[in-house]
């Protein structure tokens, strides 16, 4: 049986990298006594796949992993058991049963929404609302992407599905941080997060700052992933983005 | 509870592995500081990944936190990247749990596992903004405690510690903390606390003694500066290891650490009595943990941690009397749960090969032999009861079972070593390869070959071993010996199957100096630290030239500590510590070594080492 787990990762946990989060969940699943399926072979491992890795330093309210289990009492029990063994900064938000036919979490990812907040309050950019709108209205947003081997021009525009100033969201935190990111407006962005067209929110932020002729101090912004989306065809035959958890049921 | 991290996001994002500095791991303990009387910070003076792999800290951390009036936290050495940032910005070193400065704690307990961490101890004190010399600390400064194997010769670093706890921590810490509390309640001074502490068994307060020297530089005696301080300090030891504190909820790190698995300590001590081995003497007598207790612990701890691997810990697991029963249980329990069992170096025989075959991928794993010396004569000198016959028989069995990799460990520079002994290393490696070609028919050879990795380290005489009287080789001698070993291996018929690794000589010489050092060395260590020496056990950080200049500038002769011949009646800087084993016994063993005579192990015949005075363990089991 396939299970999809949604979790939040914030506060101190933002300094724990993707591989270590995987290791954390492998142990948590054993602590919680979940009857997970193991692969065959001489060194069997838990059948587990994560949707989209989150960079160190980022927080998230919408992370996903899929596992396969042999048996389960109820999704509610599993959620409770997992939450009992989490640490501060990582919460299991939902546990859903997936149809057997569904694609794994990673292959399902189509888009992700983020907020970008300025840690010390308001962004030091005048008239940011208008500037952001103008920036997003451009025909193309070309940035130079540096890889190990080459540099390459890339147009971000087709991959940015939404970009605006927004009200802050209440992100929980286990650390007591200075500044009040809770009150000041944040940048909201919805971007392509598929394996072929993934756009990092920091790339958009950098391009926007360059457009405004503003240089922000490194690490002065907090990027938070709000949700990870998959693309479905709804009853009306329309393509639409829905959170990954909606592929499953209770 | 909301915590405020001691380091800003900006700093944490700049340093390698920020997870080293944030705490919050599974099973780490948060308490309300207002609710406790005593705050204790445990330290392992090396990076997080190494420190977190140490069982001793997990035991004490768990024991302290089981007491309502104590909050025990942890600190490790900030790696060089963060070290620099903290110095530049004047950030005080902090404990992982509360993220508060270490200097706010009542105690800082440092476990000292190897000599090459001495400069790291100074880094911890310095970054914590605690005065380096104990004599310079004032009423409100944190009390700095040392423990662990190196505290059995604490003299080179004695000036930096308020007190040392000699021996196993489970026994006297409660009394020490109660004494502290009572002294605080009564408005007593730091000095008054130290005076009372000095009268607790196992506690050594260096400030109450002065080392006196003869004109030749050796120790003449010790002058007491406080009359109630004891003349000798007897180590503390837990006699019933089945009924003592064990960390059933060990901390599980987020990042991969050196020992990334559950550790089950099956016994303490070793019956063997290898003459070069310090642990084999320090932890006498052998005390086994009850097998049913261990089974229960294993299950409970696996549930509490979620580890997918369990490892047995002991100096010599094959000597544990219920090993068979324990392994059978573990294999049964773990196999169905996809939990691996990692086996510490077991004696290679039919039993251990059978077990290893069940829990490891034979093709990927390797066999380990530690003959330590290349000839039977020299193995008799060091009392390593491993014969060539046993090694070759074990190898033959293993090759038949499908193993193709063998690791061999030797020491160079052992007392009485000759060229013949050194050439014996190549010989033995070659014979093992020959056994492979003899036992495994061509068509069955995986990749057609056998891989033998022969490694040598340099012998360093340690306090409380029969070899504490031994002369240590010079760096040049060591290098020559490694060269001879290499030549010996190259001349073998099967040399293509043998890979040779050897250890750095510089760092071994320094370790030798610090191991048998006296109080005069404190200024050298401090000078080295001030000149930037740090993480000396990391080859990329070790600066031998800086150390050499420090010895020279402090007017300390390195050879005095290493190559000098020591008389039988010399007073050693560590003689005031009593580890249970008598100096007479060690001297008898030293003489037997010189005659090439072996001594049987504790289980076959007691040698009267003195450790039976603790009234238990193997000494009373026959
Ligand atoms: S007293 Fe005898 S049995 Fe006990 S540790 Fe010493 S040698 Fe071994």
Per-residue pLDDT of B348-357, as tens digits, reads: 888 888 888 8
Q: How far apart are CA B108 and CA B68, in angstroms?
A: 19
Answer whether A175 sits within 8 Å of B4, measured CB to CB: yes
Residue B427, both tokens: 């010989």
CA B175 to chain centre: 26
Q: Assign residue B39 a region: left if phi > 0, alpha if psi is -120 to 50, beta otherwise? A: beta
Angle between helices A128-137 and A201-212 (to 10 degrees): 110
**Contact status, residue B400 vs residue B446, Cβ threshold 8 Å:** no
Q: How far apart are CA A99 and CA B415, in angstroms?
A: 71
DSSP state of B280: H
Query: Which residues in A82-238 belong to E strands, given as ranges?
Result: 90-98, 109-118, 142-146, 151-155, 160-166, 186-192, 221-233
- Residues with Cβ within 8 Å of A64's Cβ and at least 6 positions away in sequence, in order, are A4, A5, A6, A7, A50, A51, A52, A105, A228, A244, A245
Answer whether B2 sits within 8 Å of A176, measured CB to CB: yes
Q: Which residue has the tokens 């457009």?
A: A211
The residue of A11, A20, A29, A31 whose CB has the most chain B CBs within 10 angstroms, and thus the best one to mutate to test that interface, is A31
Answer whether A15 sits within 8 Å of B19, measured CB to CB: yes
Instruction: Give the pairing of strands B577-578 and B209-213.
Output: unpaired
Cα radius of gyration (chain A) = 19
Q: Does residue B609 have its Cβ closer than 6 Å to ligand 1? A: yes
B315 phi and psi, to 5 degrees?
Answer: -75, -30
Residue B366, both tokens: 């390797």
Q: Does residue B450 have its Cβ closer than 6 Å to ligand 1? A: no
**Contact status, residue B519 vs residue B573, Cβ threshold 8 Å:** yes
pLDDT band at A180 (very low <50, low <70, confident <90, very high): very low
CA angle B421, B422, B426 (to 5 degrees): 110
With a cut of 70, which residues of chain B have pLDDT below it?
Answer: 1-2, 345, 446-448, 622
**Contact status, residue B534 vs residue B541, Cβ threshold 8 Å:** yes
Answer whether A16 sits within 8 Å of B252, measured CB to CB: no
Output the pTM of the full model: 0.95
Q: Which domains does chain B have, with CATH numbers?
A: 9-234 (3.40.50.280), 244-360+578-622 (3.30.750.210), 361-516 (3.30.750.200)
Cα radius of gyration (chain B) = 25
Q: How far apart are CA A166 and CA A151, in angstroms?
A: 33
| pLDDT of the residue at B356 | 85
In the predicted model, is pLDDT for residue A240 greater than 90? yes
Provide, as residue numbers in chain B, all residues whose Cβ is less than 8 Å from the Cβ of A23: 254, 256
Provide, as residue numbers in chain B, all residues whose Cβ is less than 8 Å from the Cβ of A24: 26, 254
**Contact status, residue B102 vs residue B42, Cβ threshold 8 Å:** no
- Residues with Cβ within 8 Å of A150's Cβ and at least 6 positions away in sequence, in order, are none
B304 CA distance to ligand 1 middle (Å) = 37
Provide, as residue numbers in chain A, all residues whose Cβ is less than 8 Å from the Cβ of B24: 12-13, 87-89, 174
**Contact status, residue B309 vs residue B262, Cβ threshold 8 Å:** yes
- Terminus-to-terminus CA distance in chain A, angstroms? 13
**Contact status, residue B138 vs residue B145, Cβ threshold 8 Å:** no
Which three-class secondary structure state does DSSP give residue B41?
Answer: strand
| H helix or E strand, kind and range, residue B197 | helix B190-197
Answer whether B306 sits within 8 Å of A23, measured CB to CB: no
Which three-class secondary structure state does DSSP give residue B40?
Answer: strand
Q: How far apart are CA A31 and CA A85, in angstroms?
A: 7
CA angle B575, B580, B585 (to 5 degrees): 75
Q: What is the pLDDT of residues B133-192, one digit of tens each?
A: 999 999 999 999 999 999 999 999 999 999 999 999 999 999 999 999 999 999 999 999
**Contact status, residue B508 vs residue B478, Cβ threshold 8 Å:** yes
Report the gap between the CA of B186 and the closest CA in chain A (Å).
37
Backbone CA torsion sign across B391, B394, B400, B406: negative
Identify the residue with better confidence: A171 or B461.
Answer: B461
Residue B14, both tokens: 């700049």
Which three-class secondary structure state does DSSP give residue B229?
Answer: coil
Q: How far apart are CA B86 and CA B81, in angstroms?
A: 9
Identify the residue with better confidence: B582 or A174.
Answer: B582
Q: How far apart are CA B494 and CA B274, in angstroms?
A: 30
User: How many CA atoms lie within 13 Å of B192's alpha carbon, on the beta-carbon side?
Assistant: 12
Q: How far apart are CA A26 and CA A85, in angstroms?
A: 12
Q: How far apart are CA A201 and CA A215, in angstroms?
A: 16
DSSP state of B468: G
The domain limits of chain A are 2-106, 111-246
CA A191 to chain centre: 11
For residue B93, how many other CB atoms are within 10 A of its CB?
26
Provide, as residue numbers in chain A, all residues whose Cβ is less than 8 Å from the Cβ of B4: 175-177
Residue B272, both tokens: 């063997």
Answer whether A30 sits within 8 Å of B306, measured CB to CB: yes
DSSP state of A95: E
Q: How far apart are CA B118 and CA B392, in angstroms?
A: 41
- Residues with Cβ within 8 Å of B186's Cβ and at least 6 positions away in sequence, in order, are none
Q: How far apart are CA B622 and CA B603, in angstroms?
A: 8
B284 CA distance to ligand 1 middle (Å) = 7
| pLDDT of the residue at B37 | 97
pLDDT band at A179 (very low <50, low <70, confident <90, very high): very low
Of A13, A24, A38, Cβ closest to residue B338: A38
CATH class of A2-106: alpha beta
Q: Which residue has the tokens 């977190």?
A: B52
Burial tier of B601 (Cβ tally within 10 Å: 0-12, 13-18, 19+): buried
| H helix or E strand, kind and range, residue A133 | helix A128-137
The b-or-e profile of B484-494 (16+ CB within 10 A means b, else e) is bbbebbeebeb
């Amino acid at each position: 049986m396939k299970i999809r787990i949604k979790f939040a990762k914030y506060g101190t946990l933002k300094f724990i990298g993707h591989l270590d989060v995987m290791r954390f969940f492998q142990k948590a699943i054993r602590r919680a006594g979940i009857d997970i399926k193991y692969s065959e072979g001489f060194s069997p491992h838990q059948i587990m796949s994560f949707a989209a890795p989150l960079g160190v330093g980022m927080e998230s309210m919408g992370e996903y992993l899929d596992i396969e289990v042999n048996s389960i009492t109820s999704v509610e029990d599993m959620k409770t058991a997992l939450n009992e063994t989490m640490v501060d900064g990582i919460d299991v938000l939902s546990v859903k049963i997936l149809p057997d036919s569904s694609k794994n979490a990673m292959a399902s990812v189509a888009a992700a929404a983020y907020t970008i907040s300025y840690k010390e309050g308001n962004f030091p950019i005048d008239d940011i609302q208008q500037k952001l709108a103008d920036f997003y209205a451009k025909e193309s947003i070309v940035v130079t992407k540096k890889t190990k081997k080459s540099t390459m021009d890339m147009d971000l525009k087709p991959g940015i599905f939404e970009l605006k100033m927004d009200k802050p969201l209440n992100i929980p935190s286990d650390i007591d941080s200075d500044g009040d990111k809770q009150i000041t407006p944040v940048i909201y962005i919805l971007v392509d997060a598929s394996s072929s067209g993934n756009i990092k929110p920091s790339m958009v932020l950098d391009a926007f700052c360059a457009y405004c002729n503003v240089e922000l101090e490194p690490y002065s912004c907090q990027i938070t992933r709000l949700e990870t989306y998959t693309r479905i065809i709804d009853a009306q035959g329309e393509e639409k983005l829905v959170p990954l958890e909606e592929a499953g049921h209770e | 509870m909301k915590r405020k991290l001691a380091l800003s996001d900006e700093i944490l994002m700049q340093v390698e592995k920020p997870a080293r500095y944030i705490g919050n791991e599974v099973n780490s303990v948060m308490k309300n500081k207002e609710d406790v009387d005593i705050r204790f910070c445990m330290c392992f003076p090396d990076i997080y990944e190494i420190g977190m792999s140490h069982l001793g800290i997990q035991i004490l951390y768990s024991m302290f936190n089981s007491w309502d009036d104590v909050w025990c936290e942890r600190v490790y050495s900030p790696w060089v990247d963060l070290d620099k940032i903290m110095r530049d910005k004047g950030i005080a070193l902090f404990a992982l749990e509360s993220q508060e400065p270490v200097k706010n704690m009542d105690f800082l307990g440092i476990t000292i596992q190897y000599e090459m961490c001495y400069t790291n101890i100074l880094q911890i004190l310095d970054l914590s903004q605690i005065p380096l010399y104990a004599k310079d600390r004032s009423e409100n400064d944190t009390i700095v405690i040392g423990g662990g194997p190196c505290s059995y010769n604490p003299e080179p670093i004695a000036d930096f510690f308020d007190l040392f706890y000699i021996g196993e921590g489970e026994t006297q810490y409660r009394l020490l903390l109660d004494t502290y509390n009572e002294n605080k309640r009564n408005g007593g001074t730091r000095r008054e606390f130290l005076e009372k502490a000095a009268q607790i068994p196992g506690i050594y307060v260096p400030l109450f003694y002065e080392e006196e020297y003869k004109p030749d530089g050796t120790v003449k005696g010790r002058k007491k500066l406080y009359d109630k301080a004891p003349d000798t300090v007897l180590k503390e030891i837990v006699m019933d290891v089945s009924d003592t504190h064990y960390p059933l909820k060990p901390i599980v790190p987020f990042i991969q650490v050196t020992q990334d698995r559950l550790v089950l300590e099956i016994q303490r001590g070793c019956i063997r009595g290898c003459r070069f081995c310090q642990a084999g003497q320090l932890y006498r007598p052998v005390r086994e943990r009850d097998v049913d207790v261990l089974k229960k612990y294993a299950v409970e701890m696996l549930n509490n941690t979620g580890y997918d691997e369990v490892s047995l810990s002991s100096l010599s697991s094959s000597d544990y009397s219920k090993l068979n029963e324990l392994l059978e249980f573990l294999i049964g329990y773990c196999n169905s749960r996809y939990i691996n069992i990692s086996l510490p170096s077991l004696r290679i025989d039919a039993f251990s090969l059978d077990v290893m075959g069940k829990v490891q991928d034979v093709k990927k794993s390797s066999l380990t032999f530690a003959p330590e010396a290349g000839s039977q004569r020299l193995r008799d000198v060091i009392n390593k009861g491993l014969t060539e016959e046993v090694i070759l028989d074990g190898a033959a069995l293993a090759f038949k079972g499908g193993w193709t990799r063998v690791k061999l460990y030797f020491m160079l520079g052992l007392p009485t070593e000759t060229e013949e002994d050194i050439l014996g290393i190549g010989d033995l490696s070659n014979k093992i390869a020959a056994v492979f070609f003899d036992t495994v028919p061509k068509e069955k050879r995986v990749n057609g070959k056998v891989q033998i990795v022969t490694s040598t380290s340099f012998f360093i005489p340690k306090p409380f071993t029969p070899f504490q009287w031994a002369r240590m080789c010079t760096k040049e001698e060591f290098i020559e010996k490694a060269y001879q070993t290499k030549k010996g291996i190259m001349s073998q018929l099967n040399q293509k199957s043998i890979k040779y690794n050897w250890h750095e000589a510089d760092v071994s010489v320094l370790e030798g100096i610090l191991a048998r050092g006296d109080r005069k060395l404190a200024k050298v260590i401090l000078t080295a630290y001030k000149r930037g020496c740090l993480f000396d056990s990391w080859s990329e950080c070790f600066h031998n030239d800086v150390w050499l200049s420090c010895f020279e500038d402090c007017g300390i002769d390195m050879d005095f500590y290493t190559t000098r011949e020591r008389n039988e009646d010399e007073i050693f800087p560590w003689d005031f510590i009593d580890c249970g084993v008598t100096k007479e016994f060690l001297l008898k063993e030293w003489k037997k070594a010189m005659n090439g005579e072996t001594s049987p192990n504790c289980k076959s015949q007691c040698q009267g080492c003195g450790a039976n005075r603790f009234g238990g363990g193997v000494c009373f089991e026959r």
